[in-house]
Amino acid sequence: MPVWETLGPVTSRHAAPPMSASSGDALRKHGRLPAPSLEWNAEVERETAHLYARVKNVIPAVEWPFFAPTIKAINAVKQQRNAVILAHNYQTPEIYHCVADFVGDSLQLAREASRADADIIVQAGVHFMAETAKILNPAKTVLIPDLKAGCSLASSITGDDVRLLRERFPGVPIVTYVNTSAEVKAESDICCTSSNALQVVESLGAERVIMLPDEYLAKYVASQTKVKIIAWKGHCEVHERFTPEELRLVRANDPSVQIIAHPECPPEVIAEADFTGSTAHMIDFVRQHRPKRVVMVTECSMADNVAAELPDVEFVRPCNLCPHMKRITLQKILDSLLHMTEEVVVDPLIADKARRAVERMIHLKS
């Protein structure tokens, strides 16, 4: 059924809320490390050869000397620091395949964060992901290599907005997408990601549910359930740019092409797709079905990361870049590990409330 009601700001984006970080405590606790050599030589080439084998289909050999010394340095510093790197599926191949300890969609990263056995977690992703890792690991040091790595969905709603919604719809459960600040999570009953949104909504046994802040994800869930969904007018600035016309053009050129879309896309874009799912579900689809030609209607690095693994699949564009995800680079990851910047901090009272909503989602039976 269509969404029951959509509320929210007239414009789709607020100014990004201030993000919290402080490098002071982490630096005092773990100390600074000296900068390692970043020289390209035969030893670096030999020691990184097994990593180059993972990305040789997407990174030309001539470019490897620019990446390899930093990759080697990050992997050494990680061991020295007892740190792990969690990387989202939208990270570039040299991060995703060569320095990450765990990769995945938002749900997989939240799960990995909850079982992380390390002193330090570096989030190669955006701020809300790092905050989720901190909420689940209050005693650990969580770093984000660039504090400006935000998200248009997370900045479309505030804790005050959620409190007002609760007043307006007393007793109606509030589900928030993990793409939100800790304060918004703290005001919610349960979180969801794009891989479990329908399951979370239906788990509540309610006739009406408020689903925040992604209007298109809410519409996608509403199309598959009898639960009445009250949505918010937040949008992902990457997925809202796709159009049905560009997908129809691709299909007209090759009717056998498979089009797979993320549920943050507008409904008329999803209507053109053969499959819709979270980033992890999209990757699984390509691994299982091995289409000859496929369009991944999402962030560009997804296709690069899967192409590294499946050279027999042709990835057809369009794709769009997420400017926030692309703030994370190898050099910033190394600097973050050496200098303990930027440490993500969450007010403990907010973190305790937000943890309930995140853990309720993680512990949902699948």
Task: Note the residues at the interface with ligand 13P (CB under 6 A).
Answer: 89, 105-106, 179, 193-194, 236, 264, 278-279
Nearer to ligand 13P, 70 or 106 (CB): 106
Determine the size of the site formed for ligand SF4 (CB under 6 A): 13
Distant-in-sequence contacts of 320-323, Cβ < 8 A, 24+ apart: 320/238, 320/239, 320/241, 320/242, 321/238, 322/90, 322/126, 322/237, 322/238
Residue 278 binds which entry of ligand SF4, ligand 13P, none, with Cβ cut-offs from 5 to 8 Å by kind? ligand 13P
Per-residue tokens: 255 = 């009717």
How many Cβ atoms sit within 10 Å of the Cβ of residue 184?
28
Give me the least distance between CB of 73 and ligand 13P, in Å please.
28
Nearer to ligand SF4, 137 or 152 (CB): 152
Nearest partner of 48 among 28, 27, 31, 65, judged by Cα: 65
Nearer to ligand 13P, 88 or 134 (CB): 88
Residue 272 binds which entry of ligand SF4, ligand 13P, none, with Cβ cut-offs from 5 to 8 Å by kind? none
Nearest partner of 213 among 1, 50, 17, judged by Cα: 17
127 binds ligand SF4 per the rule CB under 6 A: no
- In the stretch 232-261, what mask flags binding to ligand SF4 with x, by CB under 6 A? ----xxx-----------------------
Give me the least distance between CB of 214 and ligand SF4, in Å please.
8
- In the stretch 147-176, what mask flags binding to ligand SF4 with x, by CB under 6 A? ----xxx-----------------------
User: CA 158, CA 182: separation in Å to the nearest integer?
Assistant: 10
- Enumerate residues 6+ apart whose C-beta is below 8 A from 262: 194, 239, 276, 277, 278, 279, 282, 297, 298
* Residue span binding ligand SF4 (CB under 6 A) among the ranges 60-68, 223-231, 270-278, 319-327: 319-327
User: CA 330, CA 328: separation in Å to the nearest integer?
Assistant: 7
- Backbone conformation region of residue 315, classed left if phi is above 0, alpha if psi is from -120 to 50, else beta: beta
Give me the least distance between CB of 236 and ligand SF4, in Å please.
3
Nearer to ligand SF4, 153 or 328 (CB): 153
- First vs last C-alpha separation in the chain: 24
Per-residue tokens: 273 = 């797709």
Give me the least distance between CB of 216 and ligand SF4, in Å please.
10
Residue 152 binds which entry of ligand 13P, ligand SF4, none, with Cβ cut-offs from 5 to 8 Å by kind? ligand SF4
Residue 180 binds which entry of ligand 13P, ligand SF4, none, with Cβ cut-offs from 5 to 8 Å by kind? none
Which residue, chain included where needed, has tokens 């008329």?
A: 268
299 binds ligand SF4 per the rule CB under 6 A: yes
Report which secondary-structure segment, H or E, holds 64.
Answer: helix 64-81
Give me the least distance between CB of 199 and ligand SF4, in Å please.
20
Give me the least distance between CB of 226 and ligand 13P, in Å please.
24
Under a CB-based contact definition with an 8 Å cutoff, are residues 132 and 113 in contact? yes
Strand partners, 102: 86
* Residue span binding ligand SF4 (CB under 6 A) among the ranges 62-70, 230-238, 242-250, 300-308: 230-238
In 3-state terms, what secondary structure has residue 133?
A: helix
Radius of gyration of the chain measured on its C-alpha atoms: 21
Nearer to ligand SF4, 141 or 279 (CB): 279
Which amino acid makes up residue 230?
I
Residue 324 binds which entry of ligand SF4, ligand 13P, none, with Cβ cut-offs from 5 to 8 Å by kind? ligand SF4
Can you give the binding site for ligand SF4, defined by CB under 6 A? Answer: 126, 151-153, 179, 236-238, 264, 299, 322, 324-325
